[in-house]
Amino acid sequence: MLNPLKYFRNRTVGVALGSGGAKGLAHIAVLDYLKTEGVPVHRLAGSSIGAVIGALYSIGAMERYRDELLKMDWKELLSLVDPVFPRMGLVEGKKLRGFLSKFIPEKANLEDLPVPLSVVATDYFSGLPVVFTRGNVLDALRASIAIPGVFTPVKYGDSFLIDGGVSNPLPVDVLARMKSGLTIAVNLHPTLPRRFLKKTVREALDSAAMADASAIEDGGAMSSGATAGKDGRWRISNLIGSHRKSKEEKDPAPNLFQIISQAIDIMEYMNTLMILRAFKPAVLIQPDLIDMPTLDFTHASRAIEEGYAACRRVQGQLQRKIKPWI
């Protein structure tokens, strides 16, 4: 049915691609699904892996990257790691940059990309997001993926840049500054990983997730894993209490990389909640990959398959909230 009102509104579609390490391979499926459904992408904003996939999509190399990644085994993936003496990080990142340069030309600049892309990194000293819209694509991506404790930070003037997910894991607000009229966000942190959580914490998060789903459907903001009082402040006593030792449960101690991965997931989950309170996208896509470790890229096919499944779960919203206006 013809919708004459669409000619009086901003019909540009912006997609925010969230951070999440290996989980972010789901972005490949999301962007491909939108193309199949006839939904154009006019603007992109990405943090960390979201910025990488956004750049590959904009430059027209996403499918080639996907095919290459799916063929790689764990030994080939491990070959992209260049360890350094751990003064500021464990991995230098030159080999990963070299791998990305197979798909993104060394001299490619953000301002020349066919689909405008904003790349989010984080200033180490101020903690504020640094959003790149101009300059070398690979340089911006290297800063955006500098996971604390894993990749060495990137020198930036008198400061250093670290992973964009630290300050802005789901850059929906950046799309607003890019003047996107219709926004789609891909959230890789709908809740917390449960592998090392005790039963009481899992139950609290499951209850919160149900409340979040109701709030989104009702047009409200996503709630946190804790409850919120009438004055808007979060009451987290229920979650704090659930962390107490239980004589019946004895969980194995996590290793170094599990600690880093879980800490990052917690940080990005909490920051995402706050972002979605302030900037609600028209459509929120949430792949169910919470148990996939941030640093494990050996399950690329699973992440991509779940990306398609997540899109199918919101197909009705895409039909109602996006397609009538494009």
The catalytic residue among 19, 32, 47, 48 is 48
Q: Residue 200: in which H helix or E strand, if any? A: helix 199-217
Q: Is 228 helix (H, G, I), strand (E, B) or coil?
A: strand
What's the rounded Cα separation, in Å, for the pair 28 and 50? 9
Give the length of the chain: 326
Amino acid at 168: N
Alpha-carbon span 139 to 148, nearest angstrom: 17
178 three-state secondary structure = coil
Q: Which of 193, 310, 201 is nearest to 254 (CA)?
A: 193
**Nearest of 75, 22, 67 to residue 49 by alpha carbon:** 22
Angle, CA of 203, 204 and 209, to the nearest 5°: 95
Catalytic choice (32, 123, 139, 163): 163
Measured distance CA(117)–CA(21) in Å, rounded: 19
Q: Which residue has the tokens 């302030």?
A: 278
- Tokens representing 289 are 């990959």
CA distances from 239 to 161, 200, 260, 265 (A): 32, 8, 21, 16
9/16 Cα distance (integer angstroms)? 20
How far apart are the C-alpha atoms of 133 and 130, rounded to whole Å? Answer: 10
Q: Is 48 a catalytic residue?
A: yes
Q: What Cα–Cα distance (Å) separates residue 160 from each residue in 18, 50, 192?
A: 21, 20, 28
The burial of 102, by beta-carbon neighbours within 10 Å (0-12 exposed, 13-18 middle, 19 or more buried), is given as exposed
Q: State yes or no: is 126 an active-site residue.
A: no
Active centre residues (catalytic): 48, 163
